[in-house]
Structure 1
Amino acid sequence: MSQTRIRELIVTPIAFGDPPLLNSNGVHEPLALRIILQLVLEDGTVGLGESPGGTARLERLQAAAKVVVGMDVFDATAVAAAIDGALLPTVPSSHERGWTTSAVEVACLDAQGKLLGRPVSDLLGGRVRDAVPFAAYLFYKWAEHPALDGRPAITDDWGEALDPAGIVEQARLMQERYGFRSFKLKGGVFPPDEEIAAIRALAEAFPGQPLRLDPNVAWTVETSTEVARELDGVLEYLEDPTKGIEGMAEVAKDSPMPLATNMCVIAWEHLKPAVEQDAIQVLLTDHHYWGGLRRTRELAAVCEAFGLALSMHSNSHLGISLAAMTHVAAAIPNLDHSCDTHYPWNSADDVIVPGVLELRDGEVRVPTGPGLGVELDHDKLERLHRRYVDSGMRGRDDTGYMRRIQPEYELRLPRW
């Protein structure tokens, strides 16, 4: 029917505040980038999508906007194929094309749900849980973004976390504000002994609550194996301690705990070698780069077939992505671990109208309204787009920002 045809795809880049969170590549800049999609149908229905930002992804979404016009929103497979075909000459990587098709697919599903009066979780087969568990995402963190290039220092109410005591206090705040019942520490910042001490401090402060550590490939195979042995019985899993499927497989041979990844298995062609080498035991899904919500549901079935447990990856995101993550997680029977989310760090700058998404008791209840169940705040979207334009920032560079503050900083992976 003509009213289900796509009239236009509005692509809006935005910038929002991000704290000085440390990781193996450096530190987060004061602004993070995302891209908001509005898929407008002939009858005026609007489906929402969200993507990580940056110039390359913006250009690909703008290219997608040209090819989807006139297509039926219910023919999401053909929409994805048209986008994939348009990008193929200049973007040979299926993984990179997946970032674009997934963002548009979410917008299609949101629009479909609005037309049908059903939540996206129903379009994915129905929810098997009414609330999705999330883990507190802990970071080593400066107290403020320091004054730089005439810009004043930027503070926040989370405070400094540069040692075990600071990490425990951050975790207490996370639990007090959001009720988290599991905790993930972003490591790869300090020598392994210091991060082991932080995990042990968390285990003492939150006895019996699941813990995980993610150093983002900052360690050698040997160091990874030593840390895994040292934290045997303390961690539920160790995430991406070393680089690549082969490196992870070497660590897995002697690791007493499961290994997880969102770095070495990020495309369909990676699954076979990872399974053959028993390199990972937990896969962190992410609909943003696995091709969308339906492909994530399919991925979960493949993981079930090969005995891989599931969690969910996160990067700095806002509420449209959180809603999409929650719907697909609700529709996956074999979700074995709580999901990651950056939302507490970034929610103050959200582009959706508040009141639907709420982190409480470490969970987000699945929205039951049509589509994703969230509404766009157009005034906020305009303000964040203006911030993007005025900032001149067009890509994320944790290492470059760190070097502006600490010129001697050297990026080395593995570092230990």
Structure 2
Amino acid sequence: MTQDLTITEVRLTPILVADPPLLNTQGVHQPYTPRLVVEVVTAGGVTGVGETYGDTKYLDLAAPLADALPGRRVSDVNGLHRLAALVCGDSPEASGADAVDAGGLRGVQTADKLRLSVVSGFEVACLDALGKALGLPVHALLGGKVRDAVDYSAYLFYRWAAHPGGAGEPDDWGAALDPAGVVAQARRFARDYGFASFKLKGGVFEPDEEIAAVRALAEAFPGQPLRLDPNGAWSVETSLRVARELADILEYLEDPASTTAGMAQVAAGTEMALATNMCVTTFAEIPEAFAAGAVQVVLSDHHYWGGLRNTRELAAICRTFGVGLSMHSNTHLGISLAAMTHVAAVVPNLDYACDSHYPWQSEDVITERLEFKDGRLAVSDLPGLGVELDRGRLARLHRRWLEDDGAMRDRDDAAAMRAAEPGWTAPPVPRW
């Protein structure tokens, strides 16, 4: 019997998820971070799930889109972007083209970029529902997998042992504030998850300290791929110096400078590959960056690019221009990790292991936590994404959001840092 694919209901559930005290150039992660779970229900009784950012500015755009979807079909994913442009309008908080998304460290933020991130959650939910209705995995809806497992990289952070004042949820990772701490963290990632490549979030300490940490990683894991990401905290001159110092060690240097023009200057002065998830996050930003030779690796992210299908199109463009492809990660749960894995499985030119914050997240909203084995995640062949929502967990994390006084509903790493350093403000760029 043919399933009725008409959307009858869309449920939006904002949640707050525990986040460790991970440091970056803007500050530190808050004890809890906002995410949004999207559920799309069909007349045939199928529910699809998606996940995206849950800050207020995203919720403001998600609500009118959710109201407009009932009566449409989950198979009409082409219509999502057009519908979002019609009903969402501009978020007042995103009206300035020069605004910087400090929380996401994603470069210049615009209303269009916010809409893309909102649509991504709805598209994943629709594809999940469509796959369940048809008995097909999402990767089959994207053209079919070309690999049975996807390689992921350990995501290393400088971090505190705990949030100030005992806030948040405790963990047993301990502090990592020097090369020895970073190496110890990497050894645990390798032991527990089998990761064979390592990325360090930089821009936290003086560049020489971070160079020392990378050298310590190279000594501890000889021959294994290493990456360093200071999130645009360095000047062109500093970027070139670090590139020279680590020329024989790094697989690539990610966003050392904060603009396409700066990245192009760095690229012209070094043979090291430069990667980005800051200056190339939309199709409109590709021509300038590629023509200038500013980046050699694009870190795709279906949340940024507006969904899985746009991510697949990005991969084709990168393949055409000989630009490498990997995958960016922000704090996310199992729904997003499953979606990342499905799209990574269909892309022939996945040149580098993908990033993932998932091992840092102690909480989830799915019934069974996804497991890395030998640094890889198996691609599910179950219908849809292959994950199921745990309503008890979802309700508990939503209740936390409801009980919050508003301090955590919008991610602000600089505000979180002020709990430890009252006078802290996000440093100007470049920081060094």
Q: TM-score range by the shorter chain?
A: over 0.9
After superposition, what is the alpha-carbon deviation per residue over 1:70-116, rounded to whole angstroms, capped at 9, x for unaligned?
A: 00111111233212221245577322211111111101100110011
Question: What residue in structure 2 maps to residue 123 of structure 1?
Answer: 141
TM superposition score normalised by structure 2? 0.93
Deviation at 1:29, TM superposition (A): 0.8
| 1:168-187 pair list within 5 angstroms | 168-187=183-202
**Per the alignment, do residues 367 and 256 of structure 1 end up closer, same or farther by CA in structure 2, a change over 3 Å counting?**
same
Match of 1:65 in 2: 66
Say if 2:146 and 2:345, in contact at 8 Å, map to a contact too. Answer: yes
1:153 deviates by 7.5
Q: Which amino acid aligns with 1:270?
A: E
Equivalent position of 2:111 in the other structure? 93
The question of whether the paired residues in 2 share the 8 Å contact of 1:146 and 1:154 is answered with no
Residue 316 (str. 1) matches residue 334 (str. 2): no
Question: In the alignment, which residue of structure 2 is the partner of 1:330?
Answer: 345
Other-structure match for 2:170: 155
- Where does residue 266 of structure 1 map in the other structure? 281
Q: Distance in 2 between matches of 1:377 and 1:407?
A: 39
Match of 2:367 in 1: 353
Query: 2:15 corresponds to which residue?
Result: 14
Structure 2 residue aligned with 1:294: 309
Does residue 42 of structure 1 match 2:60?
Answer: no
Aligned partners of 1:128, 1:55: CA distance in 2, in Å?
37
Instruction: Indicate yes or no: 2:308 matched with 1:282.
Output: no
CA-CA distance at 1:53 after TM superposition: 1.3
1:141 aligns with 2:159: yes
| Counterpart residue number, 2:245 | 230
**Partner Cα distance (2:206, 2:80) in 1:** 47
Measured in 1, the distance between the counterparts of 2:90 and 2:251 equals 43
Cα distance in structure 1, aligned partners of 2:213 and 2:411: 28
- Map Cα deviations across residues 2-59 of structure 1 (whole Å, 9 max, x no partner): 8210001100000111100000000001101100011001111000000111001012
Unaligned ranges ≥5, structure 1 = none
Corresponding letter in the other structure for 2:152:
F
Change (3 A) 1:152 1:50: closer
Task: Tell me the residue number matched to 2:396.
Answer: 383
* Secondary structure of the corresponding residue to residue 423 of structure 2: coil
CA–CA distance in 2 between the matches of 1:46 and 1:182?
36
Q: How many residues align?
A: 411
> Compared with structure 1, are the counterparts of its residues 391 and 93 closer, same or farther at alpha carbon in structure 2 (3 Å cutoff)?
closer
Q: Distance in 2 between matches of 1:40 and 1:96?
A: 24
Aligned partners of 2:236 and 2:423: how far apart in 1?
A: 26
> Is 2:7–2:42's contact at 8 Å kept on the other side of the alignment?
yes
Which letter maps to 2:184? E
Q: Distance in 2 between matches of 1:144 and 1:89?
A: 38
SS of aligned partner of 1:405: coil
Structure 2 CA distance for partners of 1:190 and 1:83, relative to 1, 3 Å: same
- Of 127, 130, 139 in structure 2, the residue corresponding to residue 112 of structure 1 is 130
Q: Indicate conservation of the 8 Å contact 2:18/2:168, yes or no.
A: no
Mapping of residues 206-217 of structure 1, within 5 Å: 206-217=221-232
Aligned to 1:4, the other structure's residue is in SS state coil
The code of the aligned residue for 2:84 comes to I
The answer to which of 154-163 and 302-311 deviates more is: 154-163
Of 382, 387, 390, the residue aligned with 1:369 is 382
Q: For residue 216 of structure 2, give the secondary structure of its aligned residue in structure 1.
A: helix
Change in Cα spacing, 1:227 to 1:152, as seen in structure 2 (3 Å) is closer
Greater shift, 165-174 or 392-401, is seen at 392-401
Q: CA deviation at 1:389?
A: 1.1
Q: CA, structure 1 residues 47+219, in 2 after alignment: closer, same or farther (shift >3 Å)? A: same
Q: Quote the residue 2:206 is aligned against.
A: 191
* Residues 331/233 of structure 1: CA separation in 2 closer, same or farther (3 Å cut): same
User: How many Å apart are 1:162 and its aligned residue?
Assistant: 0.1
SS for the counterpart of 2:113 is helix
Number of the residue aligned with 1:403: 418
Task: Name the CA distance, whole Å, in 2 between partners of 1:265 and 1:73.
Answer: 29
Q: Distance in 2 between matches of 1:4 and 1:241?
A: 46
Q: What CA deviation, in whole Å up to 9, does each residue of 1:358-408 have, x standing for no partner? A: 111101000110000000000000000001111222100100111221123
2:34 maps to 33
- Residue 80 of structure 1 contacts residue 105 of structure 1 at CA under 8 Å; is this kept in 2? no
* 8 Å Cα contact 2:139-2:346 kept in structure 1: yes
Cα separation, 1, equivalents of 2:378 and 2:192 = 16
For the 8 Å contact 1:211–1:235, the answer to whether it is kept is: yes
Separation in 2, partners of 1:104, 1:3: 18
Which residue number corresponds to residue 5 of structure 1?
Answer: 6
Cα distance in 2 between the residues matched to 1:119 and 1:153: 36
User: 1:138 & 1:89 partners in 2: Cα distance?
Assistant: 36
Code of the residue aligned with 1:176 in structure 2: it is: R
Residue aligning to 2:103 = none
CA offset digits 1:331-362 (Å, max 9, x no partner): 0000000000000001x21100116x211110
TM-score normalised to the size of structure 1? 0.96
Conserved 8 A contact 2:31-2:168: no
2:68 equivalent to 1:75: no
CA distance in 2, matches of 1:128, 1:342: 24
Name the SS of the counterpart of 2:128 in structure 1. Answer: helix
Give the drift of 1:152.
5.5
Contact 2:178 2:213 in 1 (8 A): yes
